[in-house]
A = this chain, B = another copy of it.
Amino acid sequence: MGEGRASAPGYTYGTGEVARSPLSVEDLGLLERTVLFTEEDERYLRMAGDVLEGQVEQILDVWYGFVGDNPHLLYYFSSAETEEPNSEYLARVRGRFGQWILDTCRRPYDQEWLDYQHEIALRHTRAKKNETDEAYDTPDRIPLRYLVAFIYPITATIKPFLANGGHGSEEVDKMHDAWFKSVVLQVSLWSQPYVKEGDF
């Protein structure tokens, strides 16, 4: 169940359907050190959750607008045959993407979270991309290059929304910094199933 939102289709956080992460919380701790993620960042992410909660649909409008404006990205949500965007697939992913915003801010980064990161990772790859939404007409993977590249737009575009909560610029900067760290951390985790044995 989401926090303050209706449960999104295919959202299985904390259930027995979720993949098991190949990483331990100790591995996660080393990654957190590498992105300088601290308890202060956790606090600022909680603050960000409160600021973003009422703006999730507007944020998704920006992100979906960006994808829609870029045929090379919309391609991954479109029928390989007709090249038409699969609107049902886009809508189902959108629900989970909104939930992901709040989970990024509010969930404790523990083994359960790590497992769900692995589930999210697999849902970008041949292993599971189209399965959850039965979107079998669309390409069967998101290339890793775009997953990494998305760190920029997903980080840059959130800032104006963080500034909408009435906090001072120092607090907005700290929320934004915590968000940036978390996005980098998560994309690092999501790269795992793409990588050759032993190279992750």
| Chain A residues with a Cβ under 8 A of chain B | 30-31, 33-36, 70, 72-73, 125-126, 141, 143-146, 148-153, 155-156, 177, 180-181, 184-185, 187-189, 191-192, 194-196, 198-200
Q: Tell me if A148 and B145 are in contact (CB < 8 A).
A: no
How many copies of this protein are present in the complex? 2
Interface residue from B34, B144, B199 paired with A199 (Cβ < 8 Å): B144
Taking a contact as CB atoms under 8 Å apart, the answer to whether B143 and A199 are in contact is yes
A151–B33 touching, CB < 8 Å: no
Question: Are B200 and A145 neighbours in the complex by a CB distance under 8 Å?
Answer: yes
Is there an interface contact between A195 and B194, defined as CB atoms closer than 8 Å?
Answer: yes
| Complex Cα–Cα for A156 and B33 (A) | 14
Check if B31 sits within 8 Å of A184, measured CB to CB.
no
Residue of B nearest to A177 (CB): B156
> Once the chains bind, are B184 and A148 in contact (CB under 8 Å)?
yes
Does B141 lie within 8 Å of A35, measured CB to CB? no
Q: In the complex the two chains form, is A194's CB within 8 Å of B192's CB?
A: no
Complex alpha-carbon distance, A72 and B35, angstroms: 13
Do A150 and B34 touch (CB < 8 A)? yes
On whether the beta carbons of A188 and B149 are closer than 8 Å, the reply is yes
Contact of A141 among B34, B126, B141, B199 (CB under 8 A): B199
Given A195-B194, A199-B125 in contact, is the A34-B185 Cβ separation under 8 Å?
Answer: no
- Measured CB to CB, the closest approach of chain B to A148, in angstroms, equals 4
B residues near A192, Cβ cutoff 8 Å = 145
Closest residue of B by beta carbon distance from A141? B199
**Which of B70, B180, B184 is A33 in contact with, Cβ under 8 Å?**
B70
Whether the pair A148, B180 counts as a contact (CB closer than 8 A) is: no
**Contact indicator A191/B188 (Cβ below 8 Å):** no
Contact partners of A180 in chain B: CB under 8 A = 152, 155-156
Tell whether, in the assembled complex, residue B31 and residue A149 are in contact, meaning their CB atoms are under 8 Å apart.
yes
A191, chain B: closest CB distance, angstroms = 6
Does the CB pair A34–B73 fall under 8 Å? yes
